[in-house]
Chain A
Amino acid sequence: MTVLVVYMDVIREAIARKWFLALALSTTIALAIVGLALRLDVVDGALAASRLFGQILDSDIKSIDIALRPVFQVGAYAVYYIVMVTGVFGCSGFGPSMLAPGRIEHLLSLPVRRIELLLGTYLGVVTISSVIAMYGTIGLVLILGVKTGYWNWGMISAGWLAAISFAPIYASMLVSSLIVRSAPFCGLVGISLVTAGIVAGYRENLLALWEPGIGRTAFELLMAPLPKISSLAQIAGHSAASAPIDPGEMARLVAGSSVFAAAVLAFGAWLFEKKDF
């Protein structure tokens, strides 16, 4: 219950920030531009031509869902990485602000356990990133659905995967603020982890280029527990494009990312418990 109070506090703070309003507004404008500029010629369930700003993109006559696959795939990738980048920069201030001198002492004087404070903040930010991801994906689904009559619910799972992937990134950012109470530092940690997660997704390809040795083993071990950002982005893209995906691989990566987030939060709980304010 106390976690919920902290959670609501984070949501209120996010709404109060103009940055999030700007983000919502820019996403809406981007969706409106796509909606107005894309003209789709649909005949008997098949797409006869698609035009963007009056220019013909594709004149082949194909089933709507197949013709729109590239649009949904690009949309899924865009939403996924926009959520990552805007999430890192937009949410980097929540941790340091919670730990600001005066505020943290006030919070700790309340009947709130430190782990609840950590969890409430974490869940609040993850909810915000999920809302951003869902707003973008549902918006795209609605626009293309109204224009073509084809409703691609696979796109929703792409938004959900973006939110899932951001969760371990934010866990690391939040815990890093317990070490250095600075929003730029949190942002740096977040963007570094996103980059490392992209590299981790290509771990097997990169390992093939390395000679066996300590360096190779160290890289292998270091990359193993990191969230596989690029692999999850690929799954999001395939899912949005209704292309076949390996459900076992997806479950493994989603579970792995969630467990990594839990590991980082547990480490954060240890740091928080031993810290004097």
Chain B
Amino acid sequence: MTGKRRRYGWLVLAALLLLVAGWLMWPTRSDTSAQQREITFPNHQRSHERQRLAGRRRALTLLNKLGETTQQEQLERDPLLVALSGAAAKGTHLVFEVEALKDTPIGQIVIDCLTNADSSPLDKVEEKTGISLMDSVDRIAGASGLLLVEGDFSGAKLEGLFDGAEATAKGQTTIYANPDAPGGQAAVWNKQLLILTRDRETLDEAIGLLEGEVPFDDKTIDEENSFGEIYGSLDVEQAAGMFPGSSDVGNRFAEAAERVELHVDASEDVAIVANVSGGNNDALNELARAVGGALSLGRIKARAEGDDDLAELLDFASVDPDEGAFEMEVALPLQFLEDKLADCRWMGNSNQP
């Protein structure tokens, strides 16, 4: 009887354990990995960016530069990039897609700082000109001594920008300048492009490009490269200075690189793609290896210092060498940038929220 009871004890135990096993594994997820970060690197023009570019192109009469000769031609081009091309040829130029950046977390941090400041620069501009940067502006671009703001300026009172400024018309452009006062100059092209410069020479160059009076070089800014929320090209010396703690890599960068093209996607964490090109293939290959090593060391350092967020994002960092160029992909965590920007110190005021 005891033996029989013991036998059935095994059976009861088996049934109970089977129930426990079912309970433990109920339900099961088909994907057993922890939530993995998704990073989209802006390394090509996406369909919405192609549509965006197509919508921005206007028929312009440009003095097109064809080798050594120039010829006036009617071309479909993005006016902002045309106006920017003159100053862009001299060094760094960057284009900020304000409309797209407004909806990003990092854009929101910047807007919060600008709007919550004691004397908000956005309010000042609106008060003087009637331009609401939050509602009217689509893009802002900057290059050597030149700032371009694209948007709807049909109702703007731009005379208010500078004391005593007079409005004069030239083709599709209205120029606002005070001939008696040195300093800021402004112009509005076709009520959609505000051109701000420090000197008259730069202003005349930008207007001349749009009005077909100054030779336009199509190769300076390739329209097909206008993708990401921030894009442009960096001065090599400036880019070399971005390698803190690894001056050797910075020096090598300054020696081997000739052009650095930048694309930034800020939709979540900030994903950066830099296309570096130069004339010396061997030097660039060496540089690509050195940059890859520096990124690897940065990741190890972040891990050692317990910055898992940064280390996780540096997992995505890579360098892809090609003939005479290499592409570098780096991502920065939103938290990292929040820590740098959320106190609004970058505006020169530490008391901001």
Contact = CB atoms under 8 A, between A and B. Distances in A.
A204 B292 contact: no
A270 B32 contact: no
A231 B30 contact: yes
Contacts of B47: none
Contact of B11 (A43, A226, A259, A267): A267
**Quick one: which of A63, A221, A255 has the most chain B CB within 10 A?**
A63
B315 interface: yes
Interface in B279-326: 288-297, 299-300, 314-315, 317-321
A243 B36 contact: yes
Interface stretch (A85-93, A103-111, A130-138, A246-254): A246-254
Contacts, number: 154
Contacts of B297: 44-45
Summarize A's interface: helix, strand, loop or mixed: helix
A106 B234 CA distance: 85
**Quick one: which of B291, B292, B293 has the most chain A CB within 10 A?**
B292
Contact of B14 (A60, A256, A263): A263
Given A43-B289, A45-B296, A266-B13, A246 B25 contact: no
A29 B318 CA distance: 33
Contact of B296 (A46, A225, A238): A46
Given A60-B318, A61-B288, A202 B21 contact: no
A120 interface: no
A211 to B, nearest CB: 18
Contacts of B31: 234
Interface in A47-67: 48, 59-64, 66
A63 B295 contact: yes
**Quick one: which of A225, A238, A245, A252 has the most chain B CB within 10 A?**
A225
| B: interface residue count bin | 35 or more
Contacts of A202: 30
Interface residues of A, number: 50
Interface in A130-176: none
B35 interface: yes
Contact of A204 (B10, B16, B30, B320): B30
Nearest to A246: B34
A68 interface: no
B33 A225 contact: no
Interface in A222-238: 224-226, 228, 231-232, 234-235, 238
A273 B13 CA distance: 14
B8 A270 contact: yes
Contact of B18 (A43, A205, A260): A260
15 contacts: A46-B295, A60-B318, A61-B318, A62-B296, A204-B28, A224-B22, A245-B34, A249-B32, A256-B24, A259-B21, A263-B13, A263-B20, A264-B14, A267-B11, A274-B7
Given A46-B319, A234-B32, 10 more contacts: A44-B296, A48-B289, A202-B30, A203-B30, A231-B28, A243-B36, A245-B34, A263-B20, A266-B17, A267-B11
